[in-house]
Amino acid sequence: MHPRIKVAKLLIKIGRFIQSSAVAVMRPDDLIELNRRHYSKPDNVQGWCDEQLVNSGLSTLEQSLLDKVGINEGKLLLLGLGGGREAIPLAKNGFMVTGIDFIPAMVEGAKENARKTGIEISGMVQEISSLKLPENTFAMVWLSAAMYSSVPTRKRRIEMLIKIGKALTPGGYFVFGFLWNPKMDASFKSVFVKKTMAWLSLGNLRYEKGDMLRFNLEFIHAFTALEQLKGELHQGGFELVNIQANDESEFAGAIAKKQN
Ligand SMILES: C[S@@+](CC[C@H](N)C(=O)[O-])C[C@H]1O[C@@H](n2cnc3c(N)ncnc32)[C@H](O)[C@@H]1O
């Protein structure tokens, strides 16, 4: 190959690597703040509260999870409410829905969208990895649109699961979506270098393979092996009862049952 083309390709590769390392220099709290700033932008609030998007209802994956879990009444806590796309059909199905979002305008937008369709939902402004919830209250906790993957570090996800478990009634269900990428191209060397950068910058000392900034905009952790997911659910007090993941789609979902 022409030497200048070789140099140019090498520079592109180095540039991509430097860009992908940005995720390692932020601490978990910074990663959540990055996401909060992203979702608080007026265009994003408008986008997630948009009537057409909200009226599109549950995706095929979400509907299939709902059918599998087999209940459609009781109190449901929806994490990552957005404009109410899932909350509204779930409330219409018979659930009493409380939605949580860290962007106040999303909570207001979702309540307004629900009102327009003649139903009421409650909303709270909270961050999903530091939830403060009443115990023994909800029959189901729902977190879709791959948002389980938005919680940085395995430790925080397990802490979140423990809180969700306490908020569920005995035998309650946690239905959730996550990002799935078993073919992820993350060599041992690249993971090692990112971990080293995290330590040198005192950034995300719990950096894991699969952590990334999606579209350079928001933090997300892509799961590359189901064992990893099963392990953290187990540690968080849940048993995985159904998983819907295939290698053709990065959006996957699962149903976990609270272990009594
Ligand atoms: C991808 S959007 C999905 C919205 C809605 N569930 C839907 O699918 O239409 C993610 C939503 O979760 C909220 N969110 C993201 N991270 C959050 C966090 N750590 N705590 C609370 N809300 C969060 C965002 O503000 C946004 O409304």
| pLDDT, tens only, 143-155 | 999 999 999 999 9
Task: Judge if the beta carbon of residue 48 lies within 6 A of ligand 1.
Answer: yes
Q: 22: pLDDT confidence band, cut at 50, 70 and 90?
A: very high
Ligand 1 pocket, residue 86 CB under 6 Å: yes
In whole angstroms, what is the distance from residue 146 CA to residue 210 CA? 14
Tell me whether strands 211-214 and 95-101 are parallel, antiparallel or unpaired.
Answer: unpaired
Pocket probe for ligand 1: among 49, 53, 147, the residue whose CB has the most ligand atoms within 8 Å is 147
Instruction: List 164's β-bridge partners, or say none.
Output: none
Q: Where are the alpha helices (DSSP H) in 57-187?
A: 60-69, 87-93, 104-116, 154-167
The pLDDT of 214-223, averaged and rounded, is: 95
- CB contact set of 86 (below 8 Å; sequence gap of 6+): 57, 58, 62, 78, 142, 144, 145
Q: What share of the chain is helix, strand, coil (3-state, %, to 5)?
A: 45, 25, 30
**9 pLDDT higher than 80:** yes
Q: How far is the CA of 81 from the centre of ligand 1 (A)?
A: 6
> Which stretch of 38-42, 116-120, 180-184 has the lowest confidence by average pLDDT?
180-184
Give the CA radius of gyration of the chain: 19
Q: Which band of pLDDT confidence, cut at 50, 70 and 90, is reported for residue 27?
A: very high
Strand pairing class (168-180; 138-143)? parallel
Domain architecture of the chain: domains with CATH: 41-190+207-258 (3.40.50.150)
Q: What residues form DSSP beta bridges with 97?
A: 76
Record the pTM.
0.94
Instruction: Give the distance (Å) from ligand 1 centre to CA of residue 119.
Output: 21
Among 113, 116, 69, CA closest to 94: 69
Inter-residue contact 161 to 174 (CB < 8 Å): yes
The average pLDDT across 193-211 equals 94
Q: Which atom of ligand 1 is least distant from the CA of 128?
A: 20
The answer to whether 181 and 213 have CB atoms below 8 angstroms apart is no
CB atoms within 10 A of CB 230: 16
Q: What is the pLDDT of residues 38-65, one digit of tens each?
A: 999 999 999 999 999 999 999 999 999 9
Model confidence band, residue 30 (pLDDT cutoffs 50, 70, 90): very high
Helix axis angle, 226-235 to 154-167, nearest 10°: 50
- Give the closest residue to 258 by CA, choosing from 240, 244, 231, 232: 240
Pocket lining: 106 vs ligand 1, CB cutoff 6 Å = yes
User: Is-contact 22 137, C-beta < 8 A?
Assistant: no
Q: Is ligand 1 within 6 A of the CB of residue 179?
A: no
Sign of CA dihedral 157, 19, 194, 189: positive
Ligand 1 neighbourhood includes 32 CB (under 6 angstroms): yes
E strands in 120-196: 122-125, 138-143, 168-180
17 CA distance to ligand 1 middle (Å): 28
pLDDT band per the 50, 70, 90 thresholds, residue 176:
very high
pLDDT at 260 over 90: no
Ligand 1: residue whose CA is nearest its atom 15: 80
CA of 147 to the centre of ligand 1 (A): 7
Q: Is the CB of 149 under 6 A from ligand 1?
A: no
Q: Is the CB of 173 under 6 A from ligand 1?
A: no
Instruction: Give residue 187 CA to ligand 1 midpoint distance, Å.
Output: 30
